[in-house]
Amino acid sequence: MALQVAEGDETPDGNPHDTPYGVARPFVDVGAPSFRFDDHRLRTARTQGLLPDSIYGPVVCDHATVGRLLRKPTLVHDPWRQLRCSGVTDHAIGSWFASLLIFSRADDHDALRQRMRPLLRGPAFDPSFAAAEALAATAGVDGACEFVADVADAIVDAQAARLLDVDRGTYREIAQPVRDLALIHRLMPLQTLARARAAVEHVQDFLGRLARREGVTAAERPDWTRSRMSLLIGFEPYRLTLGQLVAVLADHPRTWSAAAEDETTARSAVRELLRWMPTAPIQIRFTEQPLTLADRTLEPGRPVLLCAVQANRDGEPDGDAYQPLRMPTRPHLSFGAGLHYCIGATVSEHQLSAVLRALATRFGAPEPAGEVRWGPPSGVQGPVEVPVRLTRRPT
């Protein structure tokens, strides 16, 4: 369906949304704490070919346009503009934010990816079932638990410690600051700015000490730090995806049981979750040249929100439902596309599948034990509390 703009839609308070373009358009408050990118208004926009507005810019929801714009070289990541969208002008945070892989360009980008590849092939990301069993064994639970804190955190801490070649107790020094680093990816981080700034300083100091221990030269230090920082940031969506996987499969006990015996079932369940509700629901890009979308032209420097959640559901039969054994009709866009396609995409999928198999082997199907609580939208989203009952299978 062709992308359109609807006239006369109203904001939640009942007033037409006046945009910089002088036209009343459908509006979604993507910065509201309770907002989710599977919101029915975005679903309606997707199915009717509409282009809703947000306070940041237009939200693109259809698969064809999102995929095309992700690959468009004149739509770029711009860390400084992205921070200013949220009112952040802190230079220390901006310099750190700009150093991450996702914002690198051309030769610098390729060089950093090359530095990260050996780490992704290292023991921290061993996709074997034996390695996943060892990770699952770090969660000493049997009965009611809060899955993210009691299981997912233990798994992630063990992997991150192995990545940095330190013991888990040493890694715990920066485990929470690493999670706080993800706060700056949110669209509205002002209330957590002090935590983000402290996290940047803490993690950089910690990595500096490790670099000195390993004899990293001053010339090598920036790339050494950036590669590890980029991978550490990736553990936050990983732990939230684990939480979401358990929350969803609590409603699919047969799939959970089948995953214990069948690697194909485990991979299908993980791939479907990544399609259905990615932890990176949007990507913010900025125009370097005038860009025409529907009946409007965006001038250079304007933000565009590319919504992977809705794009992944576009054109799929019953695409708004989670179906663990789905055979998708098109590739999902949860890991992006083009130059900035996630370097850890394949590793993440294999790792999640192996850990799911290990957990399903160790525990019976999870039983809900309370209400799942979600974190704020955008940036990195996911459940921060998943109360379940996990019962150990007989040895």
- What ranges in 262-305 are assigned the alpha helix state H? 263-276
Q: How confident is the model at residue 362 (pLDDT cuts 50, 70, 90)?
A: very high
47-51 average pLDDT score: 90
The C-alpha atoms of residue 27 and residue 96 are separated, in whole angstroms, by 32
Pairing status of strand 296-298 against strand 303-307: unpaired
- List the one residue out of 303, 339, 333 whose CA is nearest residue 59: 303
Query: Is pLDDT of 13 > 60?
Result: no
- List the one residue out of 264, 237, 230, 189 whose CA is nearest residue 335: 237
pLDDT at 11: 35
0.85 surpassed by pTM: yes
3-state DSSP percent of the chain in helix, strand and coil, to 5: 50, 10, 35
Most confident region among 107-111, 230-234, 384-388 by mean pLDDT: 384-388
Count CB atoms within 10 A of the CB of residue 349. 17
382-392 average pLDDT score: 95
245-257 average pLDDT score: 97
Tell me how far CA of residue 45 lies from CA of 41, 191, 358, in angstroms.
6, 30, 40
CB 383 within 8 A of CB 240: yes
Provide the token pair at 257.
């049981």
For the segment 195-233, what is each residue's pLDDT rounded down to a tens digit? 888 899 999 999 999 999 999 999 999 889 999 998 999
Angle between helices 168-181 and 221-249 (to 10 degrees): 80
pLDDT at 55: 86
Provide the token pair at 72.
């468009």
Q: What is the DSSP letter of 149?
A: I
For 73, residues 6+ apart whose C-beta sits below 8 A from its C-beta are 338, 339
Provide the token pair at 15.
């007033």
The C-alpha atoms of residue 300 and residue 286 are separated, in whole angstroms, by 8
Q: What separation, in Å, do the N-terminal and C-terminal C-alpha atoms of the chain show?
A: 54
Pairing status of strand 303-307 against strand 59-60: parallel
The C-alpha atoms of residue 240 and residue 386 are separated, in whole angstroms, by 10
The C-alpha atoms of residue 271 and residue 97 are separated, in whole angstroms, by 29
How many residues are given for the chain? Answer: 395
- List the one residue out of 51, 109, 385 whose CA is nearest residue 230: 109
